[in-house]
Structures are given as C-alpha cells and as structure tokens.
Amino acid sequence: MTDDSPTRPVLRLKPKADARRTRHGHPWVFVDDVVADRRSRAIAPGTIAVLEDAERAPLATVAVNMDSRIAARVLSRDPGAEIDAAFVAARLRTALAHRERMFDAPFYRLVHAEADGMPGVVIDRFGDAAVVQPNAAWADVLADDIATALVELGLTHVLLNASGRARSMEGLSDETRWLRGGVEGAIPVPMNGATYMADLTGGQKTGIFYDQRPNHAFVARLAEGAKVLDLFSHVGGFGLAALAGGAISALAVDGSAPALALAEEGAAKMARTADFATRKGDAFDVMTALGEAAETFDIVVADPPAFAPAKPALTAGLRAYERVARLAAPLVSPGGYLTLCSCSHAAELSKFRASCIRGIGRAGREAQLIHTGFAGADHPVHPQLAESGYLKALTFRLLD
C-alpha cells in the first residue's frame, strides 16, 4: 500500500492539548486530545493522516484509529513522509542492523514497536522464521508489505499472530495466519547455553519470551551446584538457563501442560532430562504446598504474567506481587537467591520493588537486593514512552 494521494486526511489537536508532547517525540496522541468531529470520525482505521496543532500547523505523519484510545500513532515527524513498502523496509533494515551487531545467532526480537519506529508492531525472529504481531490498525493494513520486506531480508516464513488484548483494543481481527511459507512443530531456540522450544502457532504470544534473556543469564551465573525452582516457568525460561549454568536440578511450575511439555523437550535436547522436573498447577497453590512440606531450593524464580497490565489494576497487581514474594521467600535456603519479575508497565520499578520487599519481610526473611535487571538490547526503550520499558527483574540474596 502506498500513500501518495495529493491530500491526506487531517487530524487536529484540541486547543487545550499539549502539542509539545508530539514535537518532543512522544509517539501517541490520545483520542481525548483530538477534535472528534464528523470528518475525523469518518477516517478509516489505519489511514495515514497529517496531525496538526490547534493553530493548523503540521506536526507529524500519523496512523489514525479513532475507535482506539490511541487515536494517532506517530510514524514520522515529517508531515510529508510517505508511508509505504519502502518505509517499512527501511525501518526493518535499521532494526536488523542493531540486532546483528548485538547477537551472533538470528534469534531475537527484531522490532520492538514504538522504540523501533514501528508503533504497535512486534516482530520476533526464529532463524528463518518471524512472528509478526501488528497490534495497530496501520500495520494490519500494511501486513503484506511487512512480510515482503522480511523475505527480502532473508527470512522464509512469516506468521501473522493475531492473538492478544492489544489487537482487540484496536478493533482488529483475531485470525492468525501464515503470510509467507509455514513451519510445522516447535522450533529449537538456543539462548544462554540452553535450548528452548518455541511453538509459533500454538504457544503464548510469539512462542517464547526473548525479553528475559539477560535475566536468565544472571540467574545462570548463580546456578552452579544449585537446586532451582522456576515458578510461572512457561517453556522453562529460568530453569533451563540454570541447568545450562550448572544447576544440579530444576523444577518448572506452570499452569499450561503444553508449555511444560515444550520445557521437557528443551531439557531433552540439552541431555538434562534426569535433572529437570515439571509440575502443572497454579503457582500460588504449588508455593503453598511446597512451603507446607518444608521444601527449600537454592534458587527460586517467579516470573508471573502481568498482574497490573494497566493503571486500574495497579493496586490489586501490587498486592499479587507482594503475595508472590511472601510465598516464595520461605522456599529459599539460607544464603540462597530469590528472583522476582514483573512485566507490568503500570507497576513501575519503585512500586514493584517495594511490594517485593514487603512480601519478603512479611515472610520473616532478611534480604539483600543484589541485582536489578531489565529487558535485553533487542527490546529498546522509547525515551518518551515508559510503557516500552516494562520488564523488571529483582534478585535478592536471603541471608537467614
């Protein structure tokens, strides 16, 4: 799709809206900040438009979706920029250049939405396959151009993953489909010396969580000779990394039987089946049961789903993180390590840390905070968008 019509639609800010946000680089314009008249309401979702300030001065080229809370996503601060296949290809080449510099194998997040100049778009790479999540209407319209650009970069298989809350909030369909090629079965993913199995079509999100790569590596450094408990493990994220780091055993706990089956397959490819066990169940229930049985581990990791995906859920989410810490802390042997993670962007670092410390204290444990981790370099943070820096991982040493 090209965008070469002589007159683009115009979306205008209300007089009270702060145009400086856009001028300073913020990539979103909320629906409450734009003039929602008959003309703007008639703009089809995904349409490319010019954003103007209240005095009609052009600010940027934006993608519009008046049915979304985010009415406009800034694609370029050049009001005359063309948004077409060439634009998509250029953004992907720029993103790829950074990843190829950082990683020696083609397994990483290739595009991290706004931070890579492609608002709402997530692309994870698995060798010659890619999973694209076009979570904004403009990218859904340009999905075929994205697939073509990926093939031009050397990939063979491109899956459009249409699952997730973000697409439903944009009013987009939930049809997952192959745009190019197709892969059957899970793909082995080498990372931090471990092997993970990524189910691109049936797994959570894109099949694996690349964002935890540096935090897996940190835990692996602590793991020599350790007995490890990996809670909310998905496909064995921390547990398999710990085995690669020299752990003597790892127990993975998750509510998904398919995810645990993939974790077991990964352990088998590492020739560590005998040292790897799984337990299907609610992590809170399992922690309670392990505590009642007086079980302890040298390393305990809890990497739960987002308990506070948005501000309305923040209070309940922080209580949930505190409860995780309170139940997990007694399972750590004296001198052992507890890693607690949050992927909730609404629970910013200081609040998440306070909840974890409160939970550890309520468990009667004394702790040192020895490391604070974030997402890897393939998940860059947009300087104007705190939501792009969502991941936090706190590692404590429990002294008593």
Non-local (6+) Cβ contacts of 331 within 8 A are: 229, 287, 290, 291, 295, 296, 297, 300
By C-alpha distance, which of 22, 17, 14 is closest to 385? Answer: 22
Of 92, 301, 327, 343, the catalytic one is 343
Which residue type sits at 311? K
Helix 143-152 vs helix 85-102: crossing angle, to nearest 10: 50
**Strand pairing report for 157-160 and 129-134:** parallel
Q: Encode 62-99: b = buried (16+ Cβ within 10 Å), e = exposed.
A: bbbbbebebbbbbbebebeeebebebbbebbeebbeeb
Token reading at 253: 């706990």
CA distance 122 to 377: 15
In this structure, is the dihedral angle defined by the CA atoms of residues 184, 150, 343 and 397, taken in order, positive or negative?
A: positive
CA distance 155 to 70: 31
Token reading at 78: 């050049």
Which residue type sits at 177? R
CA distance 344 to 342: 5
Active site residue 343: yes
CA distance 144 to 135: 14
CA distance 314 to 110: 30
DSSP 34: B
Which residues participate in catalysis according to the annotation?
Answer: 343
